[in-house]
Amino acid sequence: MSKVRVVAITALLLACPSPAQNSTQKIRAALSPVAATVGTGVEWRTDLDAALALARETGRPVFWYVPTVRGSRMDRKPEIDRYMMGGPFSWPGLVGLLNEAFVPLRRPGGGEDAERFGLRPVAFVEPGFLVLDAEGDVKASVDEITTLDPGFFLARLGDALGGAAPEALQRAQTWFDGLVAARTAESSSLETPGARFVAGARAFWSGDDDGAREIWTALAAEEPSASPWVAKAALESEGHGPIVHGFEVPWAKLPEDALRSGRGTRAAPGVFDEAQLAARGLGFFAAMQRGDGGFVDSIYDFGGTDSLPNVHVAITALAAWAMLETMERTPGDHAAARACFDRAVAYAFDDRHLNPDDRDELIWAYLYRARLAVRWLALRPADADRAQPLLARAVADLARMQPEDGAWFHEYANPFVISACLLALSEARKVGAEIPDGVGDRGVLALLRCRAEDGAITYGMPRRGRVRAQVQGGVGRMPLAEAALADWGHAEDGALARAVDASFEFHDELDQVRKYDDHASRYGYGGFFFWFDLHARVDAIARLADAEARTAARSAQRAQILALPEIDGCFVDSHEIGRVYGTAMALICLAAISD
């Protein structure tokens, strides 16, 4: 686990109740006084009318940072705001541009703003910003910001300025050019706060956790007013920053088309082809893998802080799986990626990285270990001496976690976990793993209890009596359930195809809430289910009996995924689960529909 994180998960676990209590307590550490000053170098106003008055007086447009909107279902608002304040609003070049060429305003949206500025939940997904002229007319609106890149902000703000303040914009661009050059330079000079921060970032992105922490911690001890980099160093060293969580990406010049073409930080379709996505994904994994081989960027703690180690193991297994698929599909020398893969496998299958007493998210660690080992055996049979024992252990762990009633669980027993476990075990059978007697049958019976007559699948385990569920609410779960039932010999005529069709029908509604970290739609869809549901659809598509329908569904699914990359070629859904998870899921899905 990353030593950069001063408030390390292991330390947080010491503050939890006894692990045997399976705590759901969420322990979220406060910022240090220095880290709490991030973003304050921007001369923020908080009153819209006052900001517009100053805009009329100075002739400068208003830059309105919108950290959230009233009524938003975003769960981790403080963390998202922290990424922005510690990312873009701590970059000296952007701070200078905002203070010189704009009237900066930091204010939530909602109330009277909702209609006038379009600041309503789902219509505007935080974080984002507006640029207003002196009369309050919107000249630019950017939301869904989940990739923090200086070039993106400079491009969008340059467009909004429309040729005004060219000198201020050029100074910001020169600063960014220097940042990109410094990231790849071999200079050992640490004379300025900026140079020292960059050295820490370079160490972090190369997997040198101790080196990054040492540099950032020393810089954080300086007077915050000396440079925006000081408070940013404190934020990163304490484990709260956008770099250590993968949202501020390694500084580089991104394709010009990516910076302006899509909603928020989503690139338009066609900016990246599959080969580029593969290369960018592998590069991102290399930057985010910690020295011990793990990926610990996620802060998904719905199951409590004591569940985070298990979340990190599950995501590390997914990242390893994605690396494996990507290396097999793309030509070239993958020596560096293979080394990353080997370290990730070692981390993912090391029980010392688990918290076995937490029962909320442990199933995902076992489940994705099994899926990884299955694909490893299928793609690299020569590695069977390494992969087979790991698969056998993962299968045994899954079987051991199944209750007598067959209903596997994470935070609670539910059909999507049951389906995912059944599917993992059926995949394991295909490569020769032995499944303990009765495990599959118990799981199937539990799953069938969740299936309504029209094929709808419940969210949780139903009470006694008639199963009540809506197709619209379960379109993400239905393909997974039908695929699992089909694999275990309980398919119903046409049920799998109908489930896939329903999932496609409601794809846009799933996509609308993709960047929320809680349930946010009228049907209860949550962003943190987006990639899970797409992966379920991909698994279901592979099992469609009609070859023509299967080919058409694969084509449609590929087009949808290729419309989702971020401006750097990576992927995300919920901020809370993170960009490593999103990128891994996307690459796994692309590989499956390209077979």
How confident is the model over 166-209, as pLDDT tens digits? 999 999 999 999 999 999 886 666 789 999 999 999 999 999 99
Q: Where in the chain is the domain with CATH 1.50.10.20?
A: 266-592
CA separation for the pair 50, 464 (Å, rounded): 60
Average pLDDT over residues 212-230: 95
Tokens of 461: 């385990």
Yes or no: say if 277 and 177 are a contact pair by the CB < 8 Å rule: no
- Predicted confidence at residue 568, as pLDDT, reads 97
Share of the chain above pLDDT 90, in %: 89
CA separation for the pair 38, 490 (Å, rounded): 56
Eight-class DSSP state of 573: S
CA separation for the pair 499, 507 (Å, rounded): 12
More confident call, 184 vs 58: 58
- Predicted confidence at residue 19, as pLDDT, reads 34
- Predicted confidence at residue 112, as pLDDT, reads 84
Residue 105 has φ and ψ, to the nearest 5°, of -130, 130
More confident call, 455 vs 466: 455
96-155 pLDDT tens trace: 999 999 999 999 998 888 889 999 999 999 999 999 999 999 999 999 999 999 999 999
- Predicted confidence at residue 476, as pLDDT, reads 94
Residue keyed to tokens 């390893």: 320
For residues 180-191, one letter each, b for 16 or more C-beta atoms within 10 angstroms of the residue's C-beta and e for the rest, the string is eebeeeeeeebe
- Predicted confidence at residue 466, as pLDDT, reads 78
Average pLDDT over residues 31-49: 97
- Predicted confidence at residue 15, as pLDDT, reads 32
Confidence band of 546 (pLDDT split at 50, 70, 90): very high
Beta strands 62-66; 103-106: pairing state? parallel
Class for domain 31-237, per CATH?
alpha beta
Tokens of 556: 């449609």
Query: Is the sign of the CA dihedral 330, 559, 299, 412 positive or negative?
Result: negative
Average pLDDT over residues 418-424: 98
Q: Where in the chain is the domain with CATH 3.40.30.10?
A: 31-237
280-310 pLDDT tens trace: 999 999 999 999 999 999 999 999 999 999 9
Residue keyed to tokens 């005529």: 493
CATH topology of domain 266-592: Glycosyltransferase (1.50.10)
Tokens of 271: 């900016």
- Predicted confidence at residue 187, as pLDDT, reads 63
Residue 526 has φ and ψ, to the nearest 5°, of -125, 145
- Predicted confidence at residue 16, as pLDDT, reads 33
Helix-strand-coil percent breakdown of the chain, rounded to 5?
Answer: 55, 5, 40
337-384 pLDDT tens trace: 999 999 999 999 999 999 999 999 999 999 999 999 999 999 999 999
Query: Is the sign of the CA dihedral 588, 590, 593, 595 positive or negative?
Result: negative
CA separation for the pair 432, 9 (Å, rounded): 37
Residue 569 has φ and ψ, to the nearest 5°, of 85, 10
- Reported as half-sphere exposure (CB side, CA atoms, 13 A), residue 469 has a value of 26
Eight-class DSSP state of 103: E
Closest CA to 419 of 399, 448, 456: 448
CA separation for the pair 181, 560 (Å, rounded): 35
- Predicted confidence at residue 269, as pLDDT, reads 85
Residue 13 has pLDDT above 80, yes or no: no
- Predicted confidence at residue 188, as pLDDT, reads 60
CA separation for the pair 185, 241 (Å, rounded): 23
- Predicted confidence at residue 10, as pLDDT, reads 32
Residue 593 has pLDDT above 90, yes or no: yes
More confident call, 261 vs 158: 158
C-beta atoms surrounding 257 within 10 Å: 14
Q: What average pLDDT is seen over the chain?
A: 93
